[in-house]
Structure 1
Protein backbone atom coordinates (compact mmCIF):
# COMPACT_ATOMS: atom_id res chain seq x y z
CA UNK A 1 0.00 0.00 0.00
CA UNK A 2 1.39 3.38 -1.05
CA UNK A 3 -0.09 6.40 0.71
CA UNK A 4 -0.46 9.89 -0.70
CA UNK A 5 2.68 11.14 1.02
CA UNK A 6 4.89 8.36 -0.38
CA UNK A 7 3.34 8.57 -3.83
CA UNK A 8 3.89 12.32 -4.01
CA UNK A 9 7.54 12.03 -3.00
CA UNK A 10 8.30 9.16 -5.38
CA UNK A 11 6.75 11.05 -8.30
CA UNK A 12 8.33 14.40 -7.50
CA UNK A 13 10.53 16.35 -9.90
CA UNK A 14 12.19 17.82 -6.82
CA UNK A 15 12.04 15.12 -4.12
CA UNK A 16 12.50 17.51 -1.20
CA UNK A 17 10.14 17.35 1.78
CA UNK A 18 10.00 21.00 2.82
CA UNK A 19 9.54 21.61 6.52
CA UNK A 20 7.86 24.23 8.67
CA UNK A 21 9.53 24.50 12.06
CA UNK A 22 9.08 27.56 14.25
CA UNK A 23 12.50 27.40 15.90
CA UNK A 24 15.70 25.39 15.79
CA UNK A 25 17.06 23.19 18.57
CA UNK A 26 18.67 26.17 20.29
CA UNK A 27 15.44 28.18 20.32
CA UNK A 28 16.31 30.54 17.46
CA UNK A 29 13.33 31.70 15.43
CA UNK A 30 13.07 30.26 11.91
CA UNK A 31 9.87 31.88 10.66
CA UNK A 32 11.36 35.38 10.69
CA UNK A 33 8.01 37.11 10.91
CA UNK A 34 6.51 35.13 8.04
CA UNK A 35 3.06 33.63 8.34
CA UNK A 36 2.30 29.96 7.81
CA UNK A 37 0.48 30.90 4.63
CA UNK A 38 3.49 32.80 3.26
CA UNK A 39 5.87 29.91 3.89
CA UNK A 40 3.48 27.32 2.44
CA UNK A 41 2.95 29.45 -0.67
CA UNK A 42 6.71 29.84 -1.13
CA UNK A 43 7.19 26.08 -0.86
CA UNK A 44 4.39 25.38 -3.30
CA UNK A 45 5.85 27.91 -5.76
CA UNK A 46 9.15 25.99 -5.90
CA UNK A 47 7.44 22.65 -6.42
CA UNK A 48 7.30 21.03 -2.99
CA UNK A 49 5.79 17.54 -3.37
CA UNK A 50 4.83 17.37 0.31
CA UNK A 51 5.36 19.26 3.53
CA UNK A 52 6.55 18.46 7.03
CA UNK A 53 5.30 20.24 10.16
CA UNK A 54 7.14 20.03 13.47
CA UNK A 55 4.57 20.11 16.26
CA UNK A 56 6.97 19.07 19.05
CA UNK A 57 7.31 21.68 21.78
CA UNK A 58 11.13 21.46 21.67
CA UNK A 59 10.90 23.35 18.40
CA UNK A 60 8.11 25.72 19.31
CA UNK A 61 5.49 23.53 17.69
CA UNK A 62 1.82 23.07 18.54
CA UNK A 63 -1.09 21.08 17.20
CA UNK A 64 -2.57 24.29 15.83
CA UNK A 65 0.47 24.69 13.57
CA UNK A 66 -0.39 21.41 11.86
CA UNK A 67 -3.99 22.47 11.39
CA UNK A 68 -2.91 25.84 10.00
CA UNK A 69 -0.65 24.18 7.43
CA UNK A 70 -3.30 21.66 6.39
CA UNK A 71 -5.77 24.51 5.84
CA UNK A 72 -3.21 26.36 3.70
CA UNK A 73 -2.30 23.55 1.29
CA UNK A 74 -3.57 20.54 -0.62
CA UNK A 75 -0.17 18.84 -0.46
CA UNK A 76 0.33 15.76 1.76
CA UNK A 77 1.55 16.82 5.20
CA UNK A 78 3.81 14.93 7.63
CA UNK A 79 3.39 15.59 11.35
CA UNK A 80 6.68 15.41 13.24
CA UNK A 81 6.36 14.91 16.97
CA UNK A 82 7.18 12.23 19.54
CA UNK A 83 4.22 9.95 18.95
CA UNK A 84 3.88 7.03 21.35
CA UNK A 85 0.11 6.44 21.61
CA UNK A 86 -2.76 5.50 19.33
CA UNK A 87 -4.70 8.55 20.49
CA UNK A 88 -2.01 10.76 18.96
CA UNK A 89 -2.44 8.98 15.62
CA UNK A 90 -6.18 9.51 15.82
CA UNK A 91 -5.63 13.22 16.48
CA UNK A 92 -3.19 13.48 13.57
CA UNK A 93 -5.77 11.95 11.24
CA UNK A 94 -8.47 14.32 12.51
CA UNK A 95 -6.12 17.28 11.97
CA UNK A 96 -5.55 16.29 8.35
CA UNK A 97 -2.06 14.79 8.41
CA UNK A 98 -1.13 12.35 5.66
CA UNK A 99 1.92 10.91 7.43
CA UNK A 100 3.23 10.73 11.00
CA UNK A 101 6.70 10.47 12.48
CA UNK A 102 7.49 7.36 14.52
CA UNK A 103 10.91 7.38 16.18
CA UNK A 104 12.30 3.84 16.32
CA UNK A 105 14.81 4.65 19.06
CA UNK A 106 12.00 5.65 21.44
CA UNK A 107 9.62 2.75 20.82
CA UNK A 108 9.85 -0.92 21.79
CA UNK A 109 9.46 -3.24 18.82
CA UNK A 110 5.94 -4.29 19.79
CA UNK A 111 4.80 -0.69 20.25
CA UNK A 112 6.37 0.38 16.96
CA UNK A 113 4.59 -2.46 15.18
CA UNK A 114 1.27 -1.58 16.76
CA UNK A 115 1.58 2.09 15.83
CA UNK A 116 2.66 1.31 12.26
CA UNK A 117 -0.35 -0.95 11.76
CA UNK A 118 -2.82 1.34 13.48
CA UNK A 119 -1.58 4.43 11.66
CA UNK A 120 -1.75 2.71 8.30
CA UNK A 121 -5.29 1.62 9.12
CA UNK A 122 -6.19 5.28 9.64
CA UNK A 123 -4.75 6.16 6.24
CA UNK A 124 -1.55 7.63 7.66
CA UNK A 125 1.84 6.82 6.17
CA UNK A 126 4.27 5.75 8.92
CA UNK A 127 7.41 7.87 8.55
CA UNK A 128 9.79 5.83 10.69
CA UNK A 129 12.99 7.57 11.73
CA UNK A 130 16.09 5.48 12.46
CA UNK A 131 19.70 6.12 13.45
CA UNK A 132 21.22 2.61 13.34
CA UNK A 133 21.11 -0.48 11.17
CA UNK A 134 19.47 -2.46 13.97
CA UNK A 135 16.64 0.09 14.19
CA UNK A 136 16.12 0.02 10.43
CA UNK A 137 15.97 -3.77 10.23
CA UNK A 138 13.34 -4.05 12.97
CA UNK A 139 10.81 -1.75 11.29
CA UNK A 140 7.68 -3.87 10.71
CA UNK A 141 5.75 -3.68 7.45
CA UNK A 142 8.54 -1.61 5.95
CA UNK A 143 6.91 -1.91 2.54
CA UNK A 144 4.17 0.40 3.82
CA UNK A 145 6.56 2.87 5.47
CA UNK A 146 8.86 5.71 4.63
CA UNK A 147 12.08 4.91 6.49
CA UNK A 148 14.18 7.97 7.19
CA UNK A 149 17.69 8.29 8.58
CA UNK A 150 17.91 11.07 11.16
CA UNK A 151 21.34 12.64 10.73
CA UNK A 152 21.12 14.30 14.15
CA UNK A 153 21.21 13.00 17.71
CA UNK A 154 17.76 13.02 19.33
CA UNK A 155 19.27 12.28 22.76
CA UNK A 156 20.87 15.74 22.53
CA UNK A 157 17.59 17.25 21.28
CA UNK A 158 19.11 17.47 17.80
CA UNK A 159 21.58 20.16 18.77
CA UNK A 160 24.69 20.24 16.61
CA UNK A 161 25.37 20.08 12.90
CA UNK A 162 24.41 16.46 12.32
CA UNK A 163 26.28 13.78 10.42
CA UNK A 164 25.10 13.14 6.86
CA UNK A 165 27.63 10.31 6.63
CA UNK A 166 25.15 8.34 8.76
CA UNK A 167 22.70 8.38 5.86
CA UNK A 168 25.23 7.13 3.34
CA UNK A 169 26.29 4.38 5.72
CA UNK A 170 22.74 3.21 6.41
CA UNK A 171 21.38 3.33 2.86
CA UNK A 172 22.17 -0.37 2.16
CA UNK A 173 20.28 -1.37 5.31
CA UNK A 174 17.30 0.76 4.31
CA UNK A 175 17.24 -0.93 0.92
CA UNK A 176 17.18 -4.33 2.62
CA UNK A 177 14.09 -3.40 4.60
CA UNK A 178 11.97 -3.25 1.47
CA UNK A 179 10.79 0.32 2.00
CA UNK A 180 9.88 1.92 -1.32
CA UNK A 181 10.94 5.32 -0.02
CA UNK A 182 14.24 5.72 1.86
CA UNK A 183 14.75 9.30 3.03
CA UNK A 184 17.57 11.29 4.59
CA UNK A 185 16.42 13.85 7.16
CA UNK A 186 17.86 16.67 9.26
CA UNK A 187 21.23 18.36 9.16
CA UNK A 188 21.01 19.00 5.41
CA UNK A 189 21.92 22.63 4.88
CA UNK A 190 23.46 22.81 1.41
CA UNK A 191 21.79 21.90 -1.90
CA UNK A 192 24.91 20.03 -3.02
CA UNK A 193 24.59 17.66 -0.06
CA UNK A 194 20.88 17.13 -0.68
CA UNK A 195 21.56 16.42 -4.36
CA UNK A 196 24.28 13.90 -3.56
CA UNK A 197 21.97 12.00 -1.22
CA UNK A 198 19.40 11.67 -4.01
CA UNK A 199 22.04 10.72 -6.58
CA UNK A 200 23.30 7.98 -4.28
CA UNK A 201 19.86 6.41 -4.02
CA UNK A 202 17.63 8.15 -1.49
CA UNK A 203 14.09 8.66 -2.77
CA UNK A 204 13.99 12.03 -1.07
CA UNK A 205 15.45 14.36 1.51
CA UNK A 206 13.75 16.29 4.29
CA UNK A 207 15.08 19.80 4.77
CA UNK A 208 13.92 22.23 7.43
CA UNK A 209 16.23 24.91 8.77
CA UNK A 210 18.30 24.97 5.58
CA UNK A 211 15.28 26.14 3.59
CA UNK A 212 13.82 28.38 6.27
CA UNK A 213 17.12 30.23 6.71
CA UNK A 214 17.96 30.81 3.07
CA UNK A 215 17.20 34.23 1.61
CA UNK A 216 16.90 32.70 -1.88
CA UNK A 217 14.62 29.66 -1.78
CA UNK A 218 14.25 29.37 -5.58
CA UNK A 219 18.04 29.62 -5.93
CA UNK A 220 18.56 26.85 -3.33
CA UNK A 221 16.28 24.54 -5.32
CA UNK A 222 17.87 25.54 -8.65
CA UNK A 223 21.27 24.63 -7.21
CA UNK A 224 19.82 21.33 -6.03
CA UNK A 225 18.59 20.58 -9.57
CA UNK A 226 21.93 21.53 -11.10
CA UNK A 227 23.92 19.41 -8.65
CA UNK A 228 21.72 16.40 -9.38
CA UNK A 229 22.55 16.74 -13.07
CA UNK A 230 26.14 17.94 -12.92
CA UNK A 231 27.82 17.38 -9.54
CA UNK A 232 30.68 19.75 -8.88
Structure 2
Protein backbone atom coordinates (compact mmCIF):
# COMPACT_ATOMS: atom_id res chain seq x y z
CA UNK A 1 0.00 0.00 0.00
CA UNK A 2 1.60 3.23 -1.18
CA UNK A 3 0.62 5.36 1.82
CA UNK A 4 1.89 2.85 4.40
CA UNK A 5 5.11 4.71 5.16
CA UNK A 6 3.45 8.13 5.31
CA UNK A 7 0.57 6.98 7.49
CA UNK A 8 2.93 5.28 9.93
CA UNK A 9 4.86 8.52 10.38
CA UNK A 10 1.82 10.78 10.57
CA UNK A 11 0.16 8.54 13.16
CA UNK A 12 3.28 8.21 15.32
CA UNK A 13 3.50 9.70 18.78
CA UNK A 14 7.26 9.94 18.18
CA UNK A 15 7.60 10.81 14.49
CA UNK A 16 11.24 9.80 14.17
CA UNK A 17 12.42 7.75 11.20
CA UNK A 18 15.21 5.69 12.77
CA UNK A 19 18.05 4.85 10.44
CA UNK A 20 20.47 1.97 10.04
CA UNK A 21 23.72 3.13 8.47
CA UNK A 22 26.94 1.11 8.72
CA UNK A 23 29.37 4.04 8.42
CA UNK A 24 29.35 7.79 8.70
CA UNK A 25 30.52 10.02 5.84
CA UNK A 26 34.14 9.72 7.00
CA UNK A 27 33.98 5.92 6.98
CA UNK A 28 33.80 5.47 10.77
CA UNK A 29 31.84 2.43 11.96
CA UNK A 30 28.38 3.14 13.39
CA UNK A 31 27.11 -0.37 14.13
CA UNK A 32 29.70 -0.96 16.84
CA UNK A 33 29.52 -4.73 16.53
CA UNK A 34 25.72 -4.78 16.62
CA UNK A 35 23.85 -6.80 14.03
CA UNK A 36 21.12 -5.32 11.86
CA UNK A 37 18.59 -7.51 13.68
CA UNK A 38 19.77 -6.19 17.06
CA UNK A 39 19.43 -2.58 15.92
CA UNK A 40 15.98 -3.26 14.51
CA UNK A 41 14.91 -4.79 17.82
CA UNK A 42 16.28 -1.78 19.72
CA UNK A 43 14.39 0.62 17.47
CA UNK A 44 11.19 -1.37 17.76
CA UNK A 45 11.50 -1.44 21.56
CA UNK A 46 11.42 2.37 21.67
CA UNK A 47 8.47 2.60 19.30
CA UNK A 48 9.98 3.46 15.92
CA UNK A 49 7.14 4.11 13.45
CA UNK A 50 9.30 3.30 10.43
CA UNK A 51 12.93 2.62 9.56
CA UNK A 52 15.46 3.85 7.04
CA UNK A 53 18.22 1.65 5.62
CA UNK A 54 21.20 3.16 3.83
CA UNK A 55 22.28 0.81 1.07
CA UNK A 56 24.56 3.33 -0.67
CA UNK A 57 28.23 2.38 -0.81
CA UNK A 58 29.37 5.81 0.50
CA UNK A 59 28.12 4.66 3.87
CA UNK A 60 29.12 1.01 3.70
CA UNK A 61 25.67 -0.09 2.61
CA UNK A 62 24.65 -3.08 0.53
CA UNK A 63 21.39 -4.44 -0.87
CA UNK A 64 21.76 -7.34 1.57
CA UNK A 65 21.42 -4.92 4.49
CA UNK A 66 17.96 -3.93 3.26
CA UNK A 67 16.90 -7.56 3.04
CA UNK A 68 18.21 -8.25 6.55
CA UNK A 69 16.20 -5.38 7.99
CA UNK A 70 13.02 -6.26 6.12
CA UNK A 71 13.29 -9.85 7.35
CA UNK A 72 13.56 -8.62 10.95
CA UNK A 73 10.57 -6.26 11.08
CA UNK A 74 7.03 -5.55 9.96
CA UNK A 75 7.63 -1.79 10.09
CA UNK A 76 7.65 0.20 6.84
CA UNK A 77 11.23 0.52 5.56
CA UNK A 78 12.78 3.27 3.44
CA UNK A 79 15.67 2.35 1.15
CA UNK A 80 18.22 5.17 0.90
CA UNK A 81 20.50 4.97 -2.11
CA UNK A 82 21.12 6.94 -5.28
CA UNK A 83 18.21 5.62 -7.30
CA UNK A 84 18.25 6.83 -10.89
CA UNK A 85 16.83 3.90 -12.90
CA UNK A 86 13.51 2.09 -13.16
CA UNK A 87 15.03 -1.32 -12.45
CA UNK A 88 16.22 -0.07 -9.05
CA UNK A 89 12.61 0.61 -8.08
CA UNK A 90 11.62 -2.93 -9.04
CA UNK A 91 14.54 -4.27 -6.99
CA UNK A 92 13.51 -2.17 -3.98
CA UNK A 93 9.97 -3.50 -4.15
CA UNK A 94 11.18 -7.08 -4.50
CA UNK A 95 13.46 -6.60 -1.47
CA UNK A 96 10.52 -5.47 0.65
CA UNK A 97 11.01 -1.70 0.81
CA UNK A 98 7.96 0.47 1.44
CA UNK A 99 9.60 3.75 0.37
CA UNK A 100 12.55 4.80 -1.78
CA UNK A 101 14.84 7.81 -1.76
CA UNK A 102 14.79 9.95 -4.89
CA UNK A 103 17.39 12.72 -4.83
CA UNK A 104 16.03 15.67 -6.79
CA UNK A 105 19.48 17.21 -7.26
CA UNK A 106 20.56 14.17 -9.28
CA UNK A 107 17.46 13.80 -11.43
CA UNK A 108 16.27 15.92 -14.37
CA UNK A 109 12.60 16.92 -14.18
CA UNK A 110 11.42 14.24 -16.61
CA UNK A 111 13.39 11.46 -14.92
CA UNK A 112 12.16 12.46 -11.48
CA UNK A 113 8.60 12.46 -12.79
CA UNK A 114 8.95 9.00 -14.34
CA UNK A 115 10.45 7.53 -11.17
CA UNK A 116 7.78 9.06 -8.93
CA UNK A 117 5.04 7.70 -11.17
CA UNK A 118 6.55 4.22 -11.37
CA UNK A 119 7.22 4.13 -7.65
CA UNK A 120 3.60 4.93 -6.89
CA UNK A 121 2.39 2.27 -9.33
CA UNK A 122 4.62 -0.28 -7.58
CA UNK A 123 3.22 0.68 -4.18
CA UNK A 124 6.38 2.52 -3.08
CA UNK A 125 6.29 5.90 -1.35
CA UNK A 126 8.64 8.33 -3.10
CA UNK A 127 10.82 9.95 -0.41
CA UNK A 128 12.02 12.93 -2.44
CA UNK A 129 15.08 14.67 -1.05
CA UNK A 130 15.41 18.39 -1.79
CA UNK A 131 17.82 21.21 -0.97
CA UNK A 132 16.36 24.18 -2.89
CA UNK A 133 12.99 25.71 -3.77
CA UNK A 134 13.64 24.92 -7.43
CA UNK A 135 13.97 21.21 -6.62
CA UNK A 136 10.75 21.33 -4.61
CA UNK A 137 8.92 22.85 -7.60
CA UNK A 138 9.90 19.84 -9.75
CA UNK A 139 8.28 17.17 -7.56
CA UNK A 140 5.13 15.77 -9.22
CA UNK A 141 2.23 14.36 -7.20
CA UNK A 142 3.78 15.84 -4.08
CA UNK A 143 0.65 15.07 -2.06
CA UNK A 144 1.55 11.37 -2.38
CA UNK A 145 5.24 11.85 -1.61
CA UNK A 146 7.38 12.54 1.41
CA UNK A 147 9.28 15.76 0.72
CA UNK A 148 12.46 15.65 2.78
CA UNK A 149 14.86 18.56 3.19
CA UNK A 150 18.44 17.28 3.33
CA UNK A 151 20.41 19.47 5.73
CA UNK A 152 23.68 18.17 4.28
CA UNK A 153 25.22 18.40 0.80
CA UNK A 154 25.88 15.47 -1.49
CA UNK A 155 28.44 17.59 -3.36
CA UNK A 156 30.87 16.95 -0.50
CA UNK A 157 29.53 13.45 0.17
CA UNK A 158 27.69 14.82 3.21
CA UNK A 159 30.96 15.23 5.10
CA UNK A 160 30.15 18.72 6.34
CA UNK A 161 28.38 19.58 9.58
CA UNK A 162 25.14 20.38 7.80
CA UNK A 163 22.75 23.28 8.29
CA UNK A 164 19.43 22.84 10.06
CA UNK A 165 18.58 26.36 8.97
CA UNK A 166 18.02 24.96 5.48
CA UNK A 167 15.02 23.00 6.76
CA UNK A 168 13.61 26.05 8.52
CA UNK A 169 13.96 28.27 5.46
CA UNK A 170 12.53 25.71 3.01
CA UNK A 171 9.59 24.57 5.14
CA UNK A 172 7.10 27.09 3.65
CA UNK A 173 7.93 25.94 0.12
CA UNK A 174 7.73 22.28 1.15
CA UNK A 175 4.30 22.84 2.69
CA UNK A 176 3.29 24.78 -0.40
CA UNK A 177 4.05 21.74 -2.56
CA UNK A 178 0.99 19.99 -1.15
CA UNK A 179 2.81 17.17 0.61
CA UNK A 180 1.16 15.81 3.73
CA UNK A 181 4.50 14.68 5.07
CA UNK A 182 7.34 17.21 5.23
CA UNK A 183 10.48 15.72 6.78
CA UNK A 184 13.82 17.13 7.89
CA UNK A 185 16.78 14.80 7.41
CA UNK A 186 20.48 14.91 8.20
CA UNK A 187 22.60 16.74 10.79
CA UNK A 188 20.00 16.17 13.52
CA UNK A 189 22.23 15.30 16.44
CA UNK A 190 20.33 16.08 19.62
CA UNK A 191 16.80 15.73 20.99
CA UNK A 192 16.63 19.54 21.01
CA UNK A 193 17.37 19.63 17.26
CA UNK A 194 14.60 17.12 16.55
CA UNK A 195 12.07 18.79 18.83
CA UNK A 196 12.65 22.24 17.33
CA UNK A 197 12.11 20.98 13.79
CA UNK A 198 8.90 19.20 14.78
CA UNK A 199 7.67 22.33 16.55
CA UNK A 200 8.36 24.38 13.42
CA UNK A 201 5.95 22.19 11.47
CA UNK A 202 7.78 19.16 10.11
CA UNK A 203 5.72 15.99 10.29
CA UNK A 204 8.80 13.90 10.96
CA UNK A 205 12.55 13.84 11.29
CA UNK A 206 15.04 11.27 10.02
CA UNK A 207 17.90 10.58 12.43
CA UNK A 208 20.77 8.20 11.75
CA UNK A 209 24.18 8.97 13.21
CA UNK A 210 22.72 10.72 16.27
CA UNK A 211 20.80 7.60 17.30
CA UNK A 212 23.51 5.11 16.33
CA UNK A 213 26.11 6.95 18.40
CA UNK A 214 24.03 7.76 21.46
CA UNK A 215 25.06 5.81 24.59
CA UNK A 216 21.36 5.39 25.46
CA UNK A 217 18.66 5.29 22.81
CA UNK A 218 15.82 5.45 25.38
CA UNK A 219 17.45 8.46 27.06
CA UNK A 220 17.81 10.28 23.71
CA UNK A 221 14.13 9.76 23.01
CA UNK A 222 13.11 10.64 26.56
CA UNK A 223 14.93 13.92 25.96
CA UNK A 224 12.85 14.46 22.84
CA UNK A 225 9.66 13.77 24.80
CA UNK A 226 10.68 16.20 27.53
CA UNK A 227 11.51 18.93 25.01
CA UNK A 228 8.11 18.45 23.36
CA UNK A 229 6.29 18.23 26.67
CA UNK A 230 5.09 14.68 26.02
CA UNK A 231 5.49 11.39 27.79
CA UNK A 232 5.38 8.26 25.70
CA UNK A 233 5.19 4.66 26.86
CA UNK A 234 6.13 2.84 23.69
CA UNK A 235 6.55 -0.64 25.09
CA UNK A 236 3.10 -1.40 26.38
CA UNK A 237 -0.27 -0.65 24.88
CA UNK A 238 -3.43 -1.17 26.97
CA UNK A 239 -4.83 -4.67 26.67
CA UNK A 240 -8.32 -4.99 25.16
CA UNK A 241 -11.13 -5.69 27.61
CA UNK A 242 -12.35 -9.28 28.04
CA UNK A 243 -14.43 -10.56 25.14
CA UNK A 244 -13.25 -7.60 23.09
CA UNK A 245 -14.22 -8.01 19.46
CA UNK A 246 -12.66 -6.09 16.64
CA UNK A 247 -15.12 -4.15 14.48
CA UNK A 248 -16.01 -5.66 11.18
CA UNK A 249 -13.86 -4.47 8.30
CA UNK A 250 -15.78 -3.30 5.28
CA UNK A 251 -14.44 -2.63 1.81
- TM-score grouping bracket, smaller chain normalisation: over 0.9
User: 1:109 and 2:109 equivalent?
Assistant: yes
What are the equivalent positions in structure 2 for 1:21-40 lying under 5 Å apart? Answer: 21-40=21-40
Aligned to 1:72: 72
CA-to-aligned-CA distance 1:37-81 (integer Å, 9 cap, x gap): 110000001110000000000000000000000000000000000
User: 1:161 and 2:161 equivalent?
Assistant: yes
What are the equivalent positions in structure 2 for 1:92-131 lying under 5 Å apart? Answer: 92-131=92-131
Aligned to 1:223: 223
**Tell me, what secondary structure is at the counterpart of 1:117?**
helix
User: 2: CA distance between counterparts of 1:202 and 1:220?
Assistant: 19
The answer to whether the 8 Å contact 2:5/2:98 transfers is: yes
- Segments of structure 2 that go 5 or more residues without pairing to the other structure are 231-251
The answer to whether the 8 Å contact 2:22/2:61 transfers is: yes
What are the equivalent positions in structure 2 for 1:125-144 lying under 5 Å apart? Answer: 125-144=125-144
User: 1: CA distance between counterparts of 2:11 and 2:55?
Assistant: 26
**Tell me, what secondary structure is at the counterpart of 2:82?**
coil
CA-to-aligned-CA distance 1:156-200 (integer Å, 9 cap, x gap): 000011100000000000010000000000110000010010011
The runs of at least 4 consecutive aligned structure 1 residues that moved more than 6 Å come to none
Q: Decide whether aligned partners of structure 1 residues 68 and 81 sit closer, same or farther in structure 2, where only a CA change above 3 A counts.
A: same
Bigger Cα displacement from structure 2, 137-146 vs 49-58:
137-146
**Larger radius of gyration between Structure 1 and Structure 2:** 2
The answer to whether the 8 Å contact 2:18/2:206 transfers is: yes
Aligned to 2:20: 20
Aligned to 1:195: 195
Deviation at 1:2, TM superposition (A): 5.7
User: 2: CA distance between counterparts of 1:89 and 1:122?
Assistant: 8
User: 1: CA distance between counterparts of 2:177 and 2:103?
Assistant: 16
User: 2: CA distance between counterparts of 1:158 and 1:213?
Assistant: 17
**Tell me, what secondary structure is at the counterpart of 1:17?**
strand
| TM-score of the two chains, using structure 1 as the length reference | 0.98
| TM-score of the two chains, using structure 2 as the length reference | 0.90
- Segments of structure 1 that go 5 or more residues without pairing to the other structure are none
User: 2: CA distance between counterparts of 1:137 and 1:164?
Assistant: 21
Aligned to 2:43: 43
CA-to-aligned-CA distance 1:67-114 (integer Å, 9 cap, x gap): 000000000000000000000000000000000000000000000000
Deviation at 1:137, TM superposition (A): 1.6
- What is the RMSD of the two structures over their aligned residues, measured on CA atoms? 1.0
CA-to-aligned-CA distance 1:98-146 (integer Å, 9 cap, x gap): 0000000000000000000000000000000000011112111101100
